[in-house]
Structure 1
């Protein structure tokens, strides 16, 4: 499968709503790499190319990717009959101890699909499922199968980003989506990203800028702009998105009170080391909101 699909996961900080904006800036390439794959929204949205590589430092996430790629039917069978309930969420979060990689992937997948915004850090991994906005368990098999199909022949690793950038072949294109520079990202991710890591990433990209192409998305801050003043282009980007709360998160607000999801505006800077003026726009994609909430 090379066509556009949605990410199989809910992922805090993912680029679900910014996908079309990002796709517009991606150049032609035959080798695609994501050093910070996360939910992989851009990989799943774009056409697969000859060589594709997803990487993330989160071992539990990468294990789940590998199980979906290599053992999808076993994962589907393990999750068969599961219900999305607070009780099962609490069980998988607090009591269940995986005995193997398959069970670890099942636990991760269940919690990701039923936790608010897919946040997996234990201290902030809260129940966040609602039938109206979330993918129902009976639809998980379809999600897993189509994800597995797209992941076939994709390299999947759990490395530090520096190793990925050093290993990337000449002329590869890297979509780079690190944690924000000025954000309390420790709330969302199981692995922290220090200020020194941001500096290290900048130096790595600067050192390899003449042999690879990259698009990096960051919070639009003076510090980031100064760090990457050497880059070829910077584009200020904004997009609208809505977060719908589940029934349990509405704190008793009723339909009669005209309760609606909160509206937000995403603001980032896209940083490129190539000329984007001559790019051919890629086909826009439709949003499947049930996959996000």
Structure 2
């Protein structure tokens, strides 16, 4: 079964628009996410022969390793976590045990006021919905079941912890799809939300590495002059999405020529098959 909700509140998560993102994926044998984050897209896409999740944030990498290797223990620890202000304060204290560190990482993302909660204190969220129920408490109650589903989905996923450009170079092959969801360009947002931010120079270096790749490449982000300028000749599509603060923003997919040609070829093949069936 596919997970039905995100295992982590994470800034920039594509959980809600993942079906839209996936609908633009061409057929592929190898799937690579250099900026894996909460794995919102990977968790919802159909399985591929080879799948690689990567992130520079060691907390994220540890979380998915613990979920994959110790799902029952983690699910029980989450189920027994009290939704309490004192508990929230303790969640940011360092701990050596990987299982407990992962529990704290996940729980504080839901107890915090915003999507930065996994990384830094944003205030304990004790708000209630009009029906009188605490929305975050409801979210936490669903998590133990989701742990098992995420563990199953990650069973054959290779988990990496390296620079994105290294992965782009490593999977330089035309049967690979590289989906990149890098930190939003600074000009498109306010504040810092990631443990590993990127400067404009970092984005430019990444784009140079992508431009040299023989793989199918799709990049997501907010509208950006830097990206539009660097990816002239790429196909560009947009959709509306809501941020953690419920603000509407435009999300963009930039699709490189190889990926777009494979998408069009696949659509043409499907159309031909439908015509054949109708005849």
TM-score normalised by L of structure 2: 0.83
Q: Does 1:268 align with 2:251?
A: yes
What corresponds to 1:277 in structure 2? 264
- Partner of residue 115, structure 1: 112
Cα separation, 2, equivalents of 1:60 and 1:217: 23
1:149 aligns with 2:152: yes
The 5-angstrom pairing of residues 207-246 of structure 1 reads 207-208=212-213, 211-229=214-232, 231-235=233-237, 237-241=238-242
Match of 2:182 among 178, 182, 188: 178
CA distance in 2, matches of 1:167, 1:18: 28
Task: Spell out the pairing of 1:121-136 with structure 2 (5 A cutoff).
Answer: 122-128=119-125, 131-134=133-136, 135-136=138-139
Q: Post-superposition shift, 1:44? A: 1.1
CA deviation digits over 1:210-265, x for unaligned, max 9? Answer: x2001101221222211212x43122x1224375xxxxxxxxxxxxxxxxxx7532
1:74-132 deviations in Å (ceiling 9; x for gaps)? 22233342112222111112xx3312222211211111222234314655543236554
Hey, what's the Cα distance between the residues in 1 that align with 2:48 and 2:119? 36
Residue 97 of structure 1 corresponds to which residue in structure 2?
Answer: 94
Measured in 1, the distance between the counterparts of 2:37 and 2:16 equals 15
* d(CA) in 1 for partners of 2:184, 2:140: 32
Q: How does 1:151-170 map to 2 (within 5 A)?
A: 151-168=154-171, 170=173
CA contact (8 A) 1:234 1:272 kept: yes
Name structure 2 gaps, 5 residues minimum.
128-132, 269-279
Distance (Å, rounded) in 2 between the aligned partners of 1:120 and 1:263: 16
- With over 3 angstroms needed to count, the CA separation of the structure-2 counterparts of 1:78 and 1:240, relative to structure 1, is closer
Correspondence 1:51 to 2:38: no
Which protein, 1 or 2, shows the higher relative CO under an 8 Å CA cutoff with sep ≥ 6?
1
So what's the TM-score if we normalise by structure 1?
Answer: 0.79
Aligned in 2, Cα 1:196/1:242: closer, same or farther, shift over 3 Å?
Answer: closer
Pick from 198, 202, 205 the counterpart of residue 197 of structure 1.
202
Counterpart of 2:272?
A: none
**Equivalent residue pairs, number:** 256
Contact 1:63/1:105 (<8 A) preserved: yes
Q: Would the alpha carbon gap of residues 269 and 118 (structure 1) be closer, same or farther in structure 2, given more than 3 Å must change? A: closer
Deviation at 1:203, TM superposition (A): 0.4
Aligned alpha-carbon RMSD (Å): 2.4
Q: What residue number does 1:258 align with?
A: none
SS in 1 for 2:41: helix
